[in-house]
């Protein structure tokens, strides 16, 4: 049995100290140890994107990052990002456009869309599609998701007075 590793990190603003097996993925750690089950486990090899979380401010695959690699880092999950209100308008737009059915992909889709909105305020539909291409949705056919993201981009641009 390989040696466990002590890690300390910040999750959704709270300091956390835990001892974890080296092989434990970040998303399994968040779900099983921290009870943060909004991050989902889909394919477990980086294809579906359902496990997306933020690590030091950037979205990553929770299944392709080890919990031990989050030592010293700031981790944000859909729970934290929802609580701060940062993506309230995006969540509202997803509801308005029916950009989800089963909801399995939604937390990750929201975090991915949030990164796009933050970094590319002028993204067009093609760029939106390219940016969310790493997140599978098996219900919507993506159109409603793209509509929702496009809406938020437009309203935030308006809000910024540009």
Partner 1 sequence: MKAPDFDYLRAESLDQALDLLAQHGDEARLLAGGQSLMATLNLRLSAPSVLIDLNHVTDLAGITETETGVRIGAMTRHVAVERSPIVARHLPLIAAAMPHVAHAAIRNRGTLGGSLALADPAAEMPACALALQAVLEIAGPTGRRQVAAADFFRGLFETAIGPDEVLVAVDYPKAPPGARWGFQELARRHGDYAMVGLAAMIEGDPICDAARLAYFAVEDRPVLAHSATSKLAGRAVDDAAIAAAEDALDADLDPHGDLHADAATKRHLARVLTRRVLGNLGTV
Q: Which of residues 46-75 bind partner 1 (CB under 8 A)?
A: 46, 49, 52, 55, 58-61, 63-66, 68-69
User: In terms of residues, how long is the chain?
Assistant: 162
Q: Which of residues 129-158 bind partner 1 (CB under 8 A)?
A: 129-131, 133-135
Give residues with Cβ within 8 angstroms of 52, minimum separation 6: 39, 59, 60, 61, 62, 107, 108, 111, 112, 135
Identity of the residue, 96 or 125, whose beta carbon is nearer to partner 1 in the bound complex: 125
CA distances from 134 to 16, 57, 72, 123, 130 (A): 29, 18, 27, 17, 8
Identity of the residue, 118 or 154, whose beta carbon is nearer to partner 1 in the bound complex: 118
Residues that bind partner 1 (CB under 8 A): 1-3, 5, 21-23, 25, 28, 44-46, 49, 52, 55, 58-61, 63-66, 68-69, 112, 115-116, 129-131, 133-135
């Amino acid at each position: 049995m390989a040696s466990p590793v002590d890690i300390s990190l910040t999750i959704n603003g709270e300091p956390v100290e835990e001892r974890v097996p080296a092989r434990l993925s970040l998303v399994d750690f968040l779900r099983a140890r921290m009870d943060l089950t909004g991050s989902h486990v889909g394919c477990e090899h980086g294809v579906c994107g359902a496990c997306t979380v933020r690590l030091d401010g950037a979205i990553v695959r929770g299944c392709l990052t080890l919990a031990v690699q989050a030592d010293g880092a700031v981790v944000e999950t859909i729970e934290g990002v929802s609580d701060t209100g940062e993506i309230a308008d995006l969540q509202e737009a997803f509801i308005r456009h029916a950009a989800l059915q089963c909801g399995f992909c939604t937390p990750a889709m929201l975090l991915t869309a949030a990164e796009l909105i933050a970094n590319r305020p002028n993204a067009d539909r093609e760029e939106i599609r390219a940016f969310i291409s790493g997140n599978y949705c098996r219900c919507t056919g993506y159109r409603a998701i793209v509509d929702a993201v496009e809406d938020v981009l437009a309203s935030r641009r308006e809000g910024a007075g540009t």
